[in-house]
A = this chain, B = another copy of it.
């Protein structure tokens, strides 16, 4: 129904902006490359007859008028930013699937009762500016606007400064307007659909997350003449905690995930005992109680490791995103569409956070997953088939149109 070839080509064209040698994409939030990607999306939407609005967090909404344009819109969308070694599909698929729905409506000369919008949410990845999903979070009232604009990267540049620099600090207030529904299409980013040979994941829930920042401080000193007994080596402390984070993940199977993804050593010189180490922890679980137990275990092990090694510690949980149940009506629309098209499908819990998680607080929300190769994401090798992507887009199309006409 939707145009598989056009959707694929748009993904490939967008993937050239920040495209890497290995076939992935490096397009961090609010960089010059992010601006180029936004500009291209805006141009495509204008070409499709949409009007564009941009809010103060840089979120973009491309509006296709409804028969009754005073009704709240049914909104689709996701994000255009990527990880440093990201792929062509994570987020981008959800944005361009939204555009493809609009293009298909245009092709067919179809009108909908409520208006339809394709959206782009700023800095979903949280890689450059932690936490993740910060702009959809502001939209949903989870974060204050000031909090959103003041998130800073490791060089101290804030989202507010960078939005202004690339010209995407729009005039609109962030949030405060109703959506008739929100639908986000996305690659699964995990192995379940592929393993079970299902083409569509009907996303019922998203697991909860806790993100931490930990700084261990010891004393830098010479690696040669400083006896082992006199050392306060911050990296030895970090190493033990990284191993413990991994063990906490393993101890809460099935389903728990535990990751240290970012770590910085100071002064980071071969013959200097590290005086300070900064690192992050990412905990996930579908059950908030288990997540709380993991939190408890981390605090205990962090205290005991640092005490044992004589290190100082700054420990902060910088983000908690509780488990999210999606809207049963919207989820049913997705399930029904997959059934109607005859696609193999199963209900699934999202392992990743998505803008849909926050939008679900202010609008009836659901998600559509499609498989990705080997379950790999946040990797330049991320891949998905044109057929699966088209199937997900068809499901999105039907769910959105039904909702808009209801």
Query: Which residues of A are in contact with B by a Cβ distance under 8 Å?
Result: 83-85, 125-127, 130, 132, 188-191, 207, 209, 211, 219-230, 233, 235-236, 238-240, 242-243, 246, 249-250, 253-254, 256-275, 280, 282, 284, 350-353, 375-379
Name the residue of chain B whose CB is nearest to the CB of A192. B225
Interchain Cβ contacts under 8 Å between A and B, 20 examples? A84-B269, A85-B267, A127-B270, A132-B271, A189-B222, A190-B224, A190-B227, A191-B225, A219-B379, A220-B379, A222-B377, A223-B261, A224-B257, A224-B350, A226-B257, A228-B258, A239-B239, A239-B240, A240-B243, A261-B273
Q: Report the minimum CB–CB distance from A271 to chain B (whole Å).
A: 5
**In the complex, what residues of B have CB within 8 A of residue A271's CB?**
83, 125-127, 132, 259, 261, 282, 352, 378
Task: Sort A-B residue pairs by CB-CB distance and give the 7 closest, nearest first.
Answer: A225-B351, A190-B225, A239-B242, A223-B259, A224-B352, A224-B351, A84-B267
**A262 touches which of B226, B257, B269, B350 (Cβ 8 Å):** B269
Are A222 and B352 in contact, with the CB atoms below 8 A?
yes
**In the complex, what residues of B have CB within 8 A of residue A254's CB?**
227
How far does the alpha carbon of A378 sit from the alpha carbon of B222 in the complex, in Å? 5
Are B284 and A223 in contact, with the CB atoms below 8 A?
yes
**In the complex, what residues of B have CB within 8 A of residue A235's CB?**
242, 260-261, 263
Given A84-B269, A127-B272, A222-B379, 18 more A-B residue pairs with CB atoms under 8 Å apart are A85-B220, A85-B266, A127-B269, A221-B376, A221-B377, A222-B352, A222-B378, A223-B257, A224-B282, A224-B351, A227-B257, A228-B250, A228-B253, A233-B259, A240-B243, A261-B268, A263-B263, A272-B379
Q: Report the minimum CB–CB distance from A76 to chain B (whole Å).
A: 21
**In the complex, what residues of B have CB within 8 A of residue A230's CB?**
191, 375
Are A274 and B258 in contact, with the CB atoms below 8 A?
no
Q: Report the minimum CB–CB distance from A381 to chain B (whole Å).
A: 9
Are B219 and A83 in contact, with the CB atoms below 8 A?
no
How far does the alpha carbon of A335 sit from the alpha carbon of B259 in the complex, in Å? 56
**In the complex, what residues of B have CB within 8 A of residue A125's CB?**
269, 271
Q: Report the minimum CB–CB distance from A276 to chain B (whole Å).
A: 10
**A228 touches which of B84, B256, B282 (Cβ 8 Å):** B256
With known contacts A236-B243, A250-B228, A262–B268 Cβ distance under 8 A: yes
Are A379 and B225 in contact, with the CB atoms below 8 A?
no
Name the residue of chain B whose CB is nearest to the CB of A154. B268
How far does the alpha carbon of A126 sit from the alpha carbon of B269 in the complex, in Å? 9
Are A190 and B222 in contact, with the CB atoms below 8 A?
yes
How far does the alpha carbon of A351 sit from the alpha carbon of B267 in the complex, in Å? 20
Are A188 and B376 in contact, with the CB atoms below 8 A?
no
How far does the alpha carbon of A130 sit from the alpha carbon of B270 in the complex, in Å? 8
**In the complex, what residues of B have CB within 8 A of residue A228's CB?**
246, 249-250, 253, 256-258
**In the complex, what residues of B have CB within 8 A of residue A273's CB?**
259, 261, 378
**In the complex, what residues of B have CB within 8 A of residue A377's CB?**
221-222, 225-226
With known contacts A225-B350, A375-B226, A85–B272 Cβ distance under 8 A: yes
With known contacts A225-B350, A243-B243, A272-B83, A376–B219 Cβ distance under 8 A: yes
**In the complex, what residues of B have CB within 8 A of residue A85's CB?**
220, 266-267, 269, 272, 275
